[in-house]
Structure 1
Amino acid sequence: MKRDIRLAVLLLSIIGLTVAAATAWELWAARERTLAKAYTHNLNLAQALDTYVEGIITQSSMLLLGVAERLEADGTGPEQLQRLRLLAQHQQSLLSQLDSIVVYDAHGHWLMTSNGQVPPDATSADRSFFIHHRDNPSTDAYIGEPIRSRSTGKWVITISRRYNQPDGSFAGVISVTLGVENFLQLFGKIDIGRHGAIGVTTVNGQVLVRYPFRQGDMGRVLSHSPIFSGYLDHAQVGTASFNSSLDGIERIYAFRKNERYPLVTTVALGKDEALASWRADALRTVGIAFGLLLVIVIIGCLMILAIKRRIGTETLLVAAREELLKANRQLEVLASRDPLTGLQNRRSFDDRLSSELRRAQRERTPLALLLIDVDYFKRFNDTYGHPAGDDCLRSVGQLLADNVRRPGDLTARYGGEELAVILPNTDSAGAQSVAEQILQHLWQSNLTHVGSPFGRVTASIGIAALPAGSEASAAALISAADQALYRAKAAGRNRLDCAPGVPGSEQ
């Protein structure tokens, strides 16, 4: 009996250590996945903002080029400047980020401003951008440091260009000023948490725009920051984690150096905030693990006390095992469901599509795929808010579930506002019939959407069908459906489009 007790204690110790080790490993792995997701999110956001800033700079440079050509061709007479001011005002109305367009003569005196009359004795001869062009014969656009506008008092970024006399000598400067406030308004719409930050700097680290805005940061040089002192020497784009030199907060950074202009876009999330959800999950996991260990200890004690009733104890263990298997099966069901819509999730979709492709090729039966995108969903969220957007997706998901009822069919949330339907043993005509039924019922449901030209929630559907006896990869089938969806959206939305064929399929 003592031997059995020692074996039971040893078994309990091994189980306890295993549970503890497995829990610790899972917590560490979950933390790494959370950080990796945050890094990826930051990189994608940095790419988008870099493209946005590059577009504005490019438009400003093209505007400067056009103004310079007019000045060099027509001169700076009163009539020419008046026509130029009207043109500048028109261009200013087309580019919302534009604060003003100003023309200076060779001495820095203002000749024309798009914001109205030139202030008396206005001069910018002391501005760094003017000095740069005066002393540098290059006609390339120059991105200047942030300054306070002398006409409006607002913080602006200057994009400037030199224009010349007919003999090539310096005639003056044209500057486009971009309002810092306009950038801050855009950055403020992005959810980066309480301690997050978005910045646009020059390659030498001078701050042009930083959100959240602080007066003391304008024009500050961050050349000693790790991104500028180390990372940018080896990579155009990357991630890092360190304490900010501005406020000391540890953040997760993603940075991207622009390929055309000497600019760097950075996006940062507070590391504590990025790990907040992981901490909450970790606490729950630790609680469950502790509860499981407590259950194991109690069961072990009962085993030791009732060692002579081995058969009864084994019965209890079998029952506990069945309960655990049942819980695992329930967890598997939950893991395959999208928590918002109740449809299958992306992972379940990928697994089913692969298995249905194999079966269709093995049994030489057709297979169809629908990709469904809710039209103008961003406008819906902007108009009614994200909770209402979630309700909209739930309604559309329920509509799909009501219209796709065959036991072998699968409805899933593919991602965001995109849904998907797998239709085994269904050809193109059958898939189109299902898609038309979905569109018709969605239209009849009359879910109000004032941001849509249709006045109600609609969807676009892309269809790809694999004929019987054909072979193609899941990626090819998805790509064909996605291209069909793109065509449906490009054709005006609230419609379906069927792919003419699946690339790579063979009869």
Structure 2
Amino acid sequence: MPERQVMVTRRPNIVIAISIVLASAILAIAVWVLAQMRDDALRRAQDSVFNVSLLVERDVSRNLEIYDLSLRAVLDGLKQPGVLDLKPAMRQMVLFDGSASAKDMGSILVTDEAGNVRFDSQATPPRQVNLADRDYFKVQRDSPNAGLFISHPFIPKVGGKDVSIALSRRITRPDGGFGGVVAGTMRLTYFHSLFAGMNLGVGGSMALMLSDGTMLMRRPYDPKMIGINLTGTANYSRFTEQPSGDFFGTAALDGVERWYAFRHIDMYPLILDVALSTRDIYAQWRHRAWIIGSLIAALDVTIIALAVLFSQQLRHRRAAEEELRVLACTDGLTGLFNRRTYEQQAEGEWRRAQRNARPLSMLLIDVDNFKGFNDLYGHSAGDEALIGVARCISQSVRRPGDTAARYGGEEFAVLLPDTDEAGATRIAGKICAAVEALQLRHVASSHCVLTVSIGVATTRGQAFATSRALVDAADEALYEAKDAGRNCVLCFGATTHATHAMHATLGTTSVAGTGTKKLLRN
């Protein structure tokens, strides 16, 4: 199995971590794409606004220029000799061209220095009106170099009820004195129609104002806004800072947040601003963002959910494998290690003991007269007896490095690393005493209860070439223990010639006889 697969199998949480990283990467990419789409939406809106503002500026500038040319033509006509002596109808044709009668254009009027109308493009004789109170008259009268002047909105005294503005130029007499004005009116319906033809969305706006902040026309249209002054508002202050520009701002008139593009119309004291509502700019993007965001969220949730499920399956698999591993190395009846596992452990501990020059002890344990116990009390009772013996062994062998196993049938084995012969003998004695203390009746035994015999072998002081030799030594000691009367512990020894006996009930130790083995009898 590849190393990565093993790692994933052993650490299911890695799957969840990888899924979170993958989901985060997908989310980051989606956020980046949405950010780019948002910027693209703003750029498209900006391009649209710039195009609209340029179109409106050129249209307004062209019409004002045409009207101004008409005013200049009147001024030039008044200077021509004999024009004033022409018949009224002929004089009208000479002074006023066809542009004066164009749609949304009002009257072109010529006044004297007192403001009285001398010539009228729409009436012969002229209408009796005095314009001395109009701003476009006063400015020309008081400022010889005013040039073309665009007035504030007003209602004409004659000739209509539509709100209009006037364009005026000064009439200068040959001596340099003030000789009156030539003024032409323009209805604001022209700007209203022009603005209405532009697609700015639901929340868009467009405004044309004089340089002093006076509103001439605004979309969305509200008659009450015509003529108001915006001086002092945040947006107007930014309009006056430079000839053109753009910014995000909130309108003082309706409180809507918009992106503004503004420009000063060349040669005229006019400011045009075109604005799109930020809500309209990002409306389509917002719709797509909801769709993409929902899909990405669903995808990320699905990835993580599948990873969690997969991780759970890996945990179940790992638990099942662990259970199988335990079953493979454990005896099903007693819960101790089986012989195969024990031999693997013994080989490893043998090598370690040889490498580190540390003692290693082994106990071989056999239940005395177990066949007779089975014949008398049945196999079920025999199984219970083996379970009891295994429990006594487990309770006596408690160190983490010690290994206890069912070696086969009624035989058990215990491996005791870093334990010398004396220590192994003590543990063996505890096991013998614990089994006898179970008081399992066994009439076929000379001891009348179930007992065990134990053979002990230790590497310290002995010359064992292999781990198998150690097992054989313990096995030899076990058979000697059985020959010595059972219910005893016998240690394999090549140099010691003493037999040690311990009476389990009295806890006394006695030494008797000679031999080649050490005997511990209960």
Category of TM-score, reference length = shorter chain:
0.5 to 0.7
Amino acid at match of 2:20: S
Structure 2 residue aligned with 1:144, among 151, 155, 178?
A: 151
Partner of 2:227: 219
Change (3 A) 1:229 1:261: same
How far off is 1:75 after superposition? 7.3
Partner of 2:121: 114
Partner of 1:51: 58
Structure 2 residue 12 is the aligned partner of structure 1 residue 34: no
Partner of 1:418: none
- Per the normalisation by structure 1, the TM-score is 0.56
Partner of 1:123: 130
Q: CA RMSD in A?
A: 2.6
SS in 1 for 2:19: helix
Amino acid at match of 1:48: L
Partner of 2:99: 92
Higher mean alpha-carbon deviation, 28-37 vs 173-182, is at: 28-37
Partner of 1:135: 142
Change (3 A) 1:8 1:84: farther
Structure 2 residue 268 is the aligned partner of structure 1 residue 261: yes
Q: For the residues of structure 2 that align with 1:284 and 1:79, how far apart are their CA atoms?
A: 76
Structure 2 residue aligned with 1:185, among 187, 193, 218?
A: 193
Change (3 A) 1:288 1:78: farther
Q: How does 1:351-362 map to 2 (within 5 A)?
A: none
1:233-254 per-position Cα deviation (integer Å, ceiling 9, x unaligned) = 2x32211111111111111111
Higher mean alpha-carbon deviation, 59-68 vs 91-100, is at: 91-100
Amino acid at match of 1:214: D
How far off is 1:101 after superposition? 1.2
Structure 2 residue aligned with 1:160, among 165, 168, 172?
A: 168
SS in 2 for 1:47: helix
Partner of 1:363: none
Amino acid at match of 1:299: L
Q: For the residues of structure 1 that align with 2:150 and 2:200, how far apart are their CA atoms?
A: 27
Task: Check whether the contact 2:100–2:108 (CA below 8 A) recurs between aligned residues.
Answer: no
How far off is 1:84 after superposition? 4.1
How far off is 1:77 after superposition? 4.4
Change (3 A) 1:87 1:4: farther
Structure 2 residue 294 is the aligned partner of structure 1 residue 287: yes
Change (3 A) 1:161 1:82: farther
How far off is 1:167 after superposition? 2.2
**Runs of 5+ unmatched residues, structure 2:** 1-7, 318-522
Bigger radius of gyration: 2
Structure 2 residue 255 is the aligned partner of structure 1 residue 248: yes
Structure 2 residue 36 is the aligned partner of structure 1 residue 24: no
The count of aligned residue pairs is: 309
Task: Check whether the contact 1:43–1:238 (CA below 8 A) recurs between aligned residues.
Answer: no
Q: For the residues of structure 1 that align with 2:151 and 2:15, how far apart are their CA atoms?
A: 75
How far off is 1:88 after superposition? 6.0
Q: For the residues of structure 1 that align with 2:100 and 2:150, how far apart are their CA atoms?
A: 22
Change (3 A) 1:244 1:117: farther
Change (3 A) 1:162 1:273: same
How far off is 1:181 after superposition? 0.4
**Runs of 5+ unmatched residues, structure 1:** 311-507
Identity rate of aligned residues, in percent? Answer: 25
Amino acid at match of 2:220: P
How far off is 1:219 after superposition? 1.8
Change (3 A) 1:83 1:210: farther
- Per the normalisation by structure 2, the TM-score is 0.55
SS in 2 for 1:149: coil
Structure 2 residue aligned with 1:71, among 65, 74, 78?
A: 78
Task: Check whether the contact 2:20–2:304 (CA below 8 A) recurs between aligned residues.
Answer: no
How far off is 1:76 after superposition? 7.9
SS in 1 for 2:11: helix
Q: For the residues of structure 2 that align with 1:78 and 1:219, how far apart are their CA atoms?
A: 41
Task: Check whether the contact 2:70–2:100 (CA below 8 A) recurs between aligned residues.
Answer: no
Q: For the residues of structure 2 that align with 1:276 and 1:61, how far apart are their CA atoms?
A: 43
Amino acid at match of 2:57: D
Structure 2 residue 246 is the aligned partner of structure 1 residue 239: yes
1:278-297 per-position Cα deviation (integer Å, ceiling 9, x unaligned) = 11011111111112113213
Partner of 2:15: 8
